[in-house]
A and B are shown apart, each in its own frame.
Chain A
Amino acid sequence: AQRVTQPEKLLSVFKGAPVELKCNYSYSGSPELFWYVQYSRQRLQLLLRHISRESIKGFTADLNKGETSFHLKKPFAQEEDSAMYYCALSGGGANNLFFGTGTRLTVIP
């Protein structure tokens, strides 16, 4: 069965410090992994997906199949990064998107 684990409910970092939001998954096939973000008073929106191998707003995430992880990283946190972040998994060809429980990131000025 698919499962997405985000071990940290809350994460606080200082502005300019590196940030890493952890995501681990369990899935027997080839997963597609995503990070979604929800800024205050805004809709949940896709931040990035592993197949794109892109950097969005300075964030990157690498799929590590050996460790079954998809951690989200940014070298220098900004105040505007404060938001709720969700890791999500879709099994290849599946019709469902499974979300983790989310991590609330607060960047302290």
Chain B
Amino acid sequence: EAQVTQNPRYLITVTGKKLTVTCSQNMNHEYMSWYRQDPGLGLRQIYYSMNVEVTDKGDVPEGYKVSRKEKRNFPLILESPSPNQTSLYFCASSSTSGGIGKQFFGPGTRLTVL
């Protein structure tokens, strides 16, 4: 089944403890992206990647890192999480042919930073 997977789905951690949220897609998509969803603010893009080893900042990149060593994987790294990073995170992917607007989303990761 073509899909985007994220792990973990739920995570509670403490301030300053490094964590990684994994994202994987099996559709051979070039484009991958991370968003955070907060009440009243909608979805805001954190980072995106046009292809392997090509990443760029979105609207709210501060406090996050990403890497794209393989086409299928796009992990989101929080080196030193803070409470304001408590949010619902979504990974998405799309083919770049025809534009990146048709994105396939993962199930979301709910992160709580205490």
Binding site for B on A (CB under 8 A): 6, 9, 32, 34, 43-46, 49, 86, 88, 90, 92-102
Contact = CB atoms under 8 A, between A and B. Distances in A.
A90 B56 CA distance: 16
Nearest to B33: A97
Contacts of B99: 32, 90, 92-93
9 closest A-B pairs by beta carbon, nearest first, are A101-B42, A99-B43, A44-B105, A90-B101, A99-B42, A43-B105, A102-B42, A34-B101, A32-B101
Contacts of A46: 101-103
A2 to B, nearest CB: 10
B90 interface: yes
A94 B45 CA distance: 13
Interface residues of B, number: 26
7 contacts: A32-B99, A34-B102, A43-B107, A49-B101, A88-B101, A90-B99, A96-B45
A97 B94 CA distance: 11
Interface of B: 31, 33, 35, 40-45, 48, 50, 56, 58-59, 90, 92, 99-108
Given A101-B41, A102-B42, A95 B106 contact: no
A49 B48 CA distance: 21
B42 A97 contact: no
A59 B24 CA distance: 31
A44 B106 CA distance: 8
Contact of B56 (A49, A88, A95): A95
B101 A97 contact: yes
Contacts of B106: 43
A49 B102 contact: yes
A92 B107 CA distance: 27
Contacts of A98: 45, 59
Contacts of B58: 96
Contacts of A94: 100
